[in-house]
Structures are given as structure tokens and as C-alpha cells.
Amino acid sequence: MPRAFLDALFSLVAWPSLESLVDGSDQLFWGVVQPLSEMTKLSYTATWGSYYRPYAQNATVTGWRRGPEVNPEAGMRALSFLQTDGSLGVIAFRGTDLNSSGISGQADACANEVLGGDKLSELCGNFSTHQLDYYSRAMEFAEELAARHPSTSWLFTGHSLGAELASLVGALRAVPALGFAAPPLKPVLRRKHLQVTVTRWSSLTLYDEHDPLRFQSKGELLGMNCSWPSTAPIPGCRACEADPLLTREVCQECFAATHTFSNYLKHVRKGTRPTCHGAPMTA
Ligand SMILES: *[C@@H]1O[C@H](CO)[C@@H](O)[C@H](O)[C@H]1NC(C)=O
Ligand SMILES: *[C@@H]1O[C@H](CO)[C@@H](O)[C@H](O)[C@H]1NC(C)=O
Ligand SMILES: *[C@@H]1O[C@H](CO)[C@@H](O)[C@H](O)[C@H]1NC(C)=O
Ligand SMILES: *[C@@H]1O[C@H](CO)[C@@H](O)[C@H](O)[C@H]1NC(C)=O
């Protein structure tokens, strides 16, 4: 990472507002988004599940040390990062393990059914209600860290299910969230009868323009969104956009090409800024 990007966060006592990121310099934008993307990657590779890599277990990001984490073999997983020489902190919530042959992916699939208000699959009986309530486990972790580090300025991040938890917990705790590729968020709040005061600057979600989760989330996010032009535009994604159900083959193809976090890392490494759009103020 170029030194200038790292310096963008040095000596800040609080995270810059999401508004200043969207409107501000490249240095500030990448100074925030680049380390968050590395932390989000570690949320997959340093935790139990099919993306685990031994070298990542204790790895961190330059300028940050790893803080407490939640890392069960099946259940909500999250890492925390504390600036080594400053006041900033990050929780990176982990996204879905798409390999459902192991208990990590099975628990994630069940947790997504819980969040989506869907009928639970039979194998979900293998897990406790407590274990599948990722939203509450994420809230607990955020509360615990806030109590342990009361003077830290927090920001939440994550990809997919991780972005969903980051934005929901962020909205409830008035902590800004910057996530990648979140699914629709407002339906979860409606189902849970949660009242939150969100502004367009509570949360920022970044998408690949052809990610079917972007199509599904239109009007259902809690704040701003930005999108990158697709790295390899797939013609079928236009057809998916019209009816973005992941059970449709055209959407599955589009999902496989755009939704993975490795695709998002490509966008970050390429260094082209995404185009940002305003969002409605109400939840
Ligand atoms: C990570 O740290 C723990 C605790 O210090 C240690 O037991 C483990 O071996 C380390 N893992 C790796 C891959 O270095
Ligand atoms: C899923 O995980 C299992 C081990 O639980 C592994 O054998 C298999 O290769 C993985 N499948 C994919 C598609 O990565
Ligand atoms: C999970 O539940 C299914 C169906 O209820 C069962 O067949 C399976 O063996 C269970 N798996 C584990 C790991 O307990
Ligand atoms: C992104 O913001 C624009 C402008 O407010 C909005 O029309 C669109 O629905 C948002 N996209 C998503 C995925 O919510």
C-alpha cells in the first residue's frame, strides 16, 4: 500500500464521516477503503470455515493490531482491529461460507434463513437458536468491545452477510458502517420491528454494478451506495437485474462472477473509485 494512503488515517482521533469519504480526496477514500478490504479478507481467511488459511490466523494489517475476536467453528464470526498508534478501531464481520458441506457453511446458510425470515432447512436443527442468531451475537460483540475500549472510535465492515451485520449493528449502535455487497437491510429491520434513526451517512455500501445483491438491495439499504463498473461485464446480468432471484440460472452466473470477495479485492487493487449515489433518509 502506498505510504500516503496509510498516512491518511494517522493521527485521526475519530473516523472521518462517510460523507467526507465519498466527497473527499482519493487519498482519504483509499486510506480507509484499502485497509478495510484487507480486514474483510482476513475475516474470511483467519476464521474457521472453508476459506481458512493457517498463515492468516494471527495476521493483521499494517498499522493495526488484532483485538478480540469471535471465532466458533459454526456461528457468527468477527475480528477486531485496533490502530497501533491511534484511536481508531474496526470490527470486520465475516460473510457467508458458501461451501455447505461443512458445519461452518451449514450454520451460515441457516443464519441467512433466520435473517431472511425463511422457513428453516431440516439440517438447521443441528444448531441452537442462540448459535443461529447472528444479529444478536454481532450486537453482543460490538457492545463488549465498546465497553472494553470506551475511547476508541469504531467503524464496522464486512462483505455480504458481514456487510449486513456491520450495517445493522452500526445503525443500532450509531457506529458508521462501510460494507461490501450487502443484501437488502430494511426487510430485516421491519421483521424485527427495530426502529432506527438512519441518515444517508450512517452507512455506505460498495458494489460491483452487476452484483445481483445490488439489484436486490435497491431502495432497501440504510444509507449511501457506490458501485464499480464490472471488471468482466456479463451480458446475462442485465437479464438478472430485471428479476434478481438467485434461484435463476442467469443470476447464479452473475453472482459467481461478481459477488465473491476476491472480485471486490480486484476493484480495490485496481484503484478506480466507484461512483456514489445518494439514498433515501428513512428506514
Ligand atoms: C497464532 O497465535 C496462537 C496464540 O499465540 C498460536 O497458538 C498459534 O500457533 C498461532 N498461529 C500461527 C499460524 O502462527
Ligand atoms: C467444501 O469443503 C469440503 C470439506 O469440508 C471440501 O472437501 C470441498 O472440496 C469443498 N468444496 C469446494 C467447492 O470448495
Ligand atoms: C444435521 O442434520 C441432518 C438432518 O437433520 C443430519 O442428517 C446430519 O447428520 C446432521 N449433521 C451433523 C453434523 O450433525
Ligand atoms: C443507491 O442509491 C440510489 C440513490 O439514492 C438509489 O436509487 C438506489 O436504490 C441505491 N442502491 C441500492 C442498492 O440501494
Give tens-digit pLDDT for 17-57. 998 899 889 999 999 999 999 999 999 999 999 999 999 99
Model pTM score: 0.94
Pocket of ligand 2 (CB under 6 A): 50, 99, 101-102
Residue 280 — pLDDT band, cuts 50, 70, 90?
very low
Q: Is the pLDDT of residue 124 over 80?
A: yes
CB 73 within 8 A of CB 103: yes
Q: What is the pLDDT of residue 10?
A: 73
Instruction: Please give the average per-residue pLDDT across 196-217, as a whole number.
Output: 89
CA 12/CA 45 separation, integer angstroms: 28
Q: What is the pLDDT of residue 198?
A: 72
Domains in the chain, please, with CATH? 3-98+133-232+261-277 (3.40.50)
User: Which residue out of 44, 50, 97, 260 has the highest number of ligand 2 atoms within 8 Å of its CB and is therefore the one to mutate?
Assistant: 50
The answer for residues whose C-beta is within 8 angstroms of residue 115's C-beta and 6 or more apart is 134, 135, 161, 164, 188
User: Which residue out of 101, 104, 123 has the highest number of ligand 3 atoms within 8 Å of its CB and is therefore the one to mutate?
Assistant: 123
Q: What is the pLDDT of residue 6?
A: 58
Residue 99 — pLDDT band, cuts 50, 70, 90?
very high
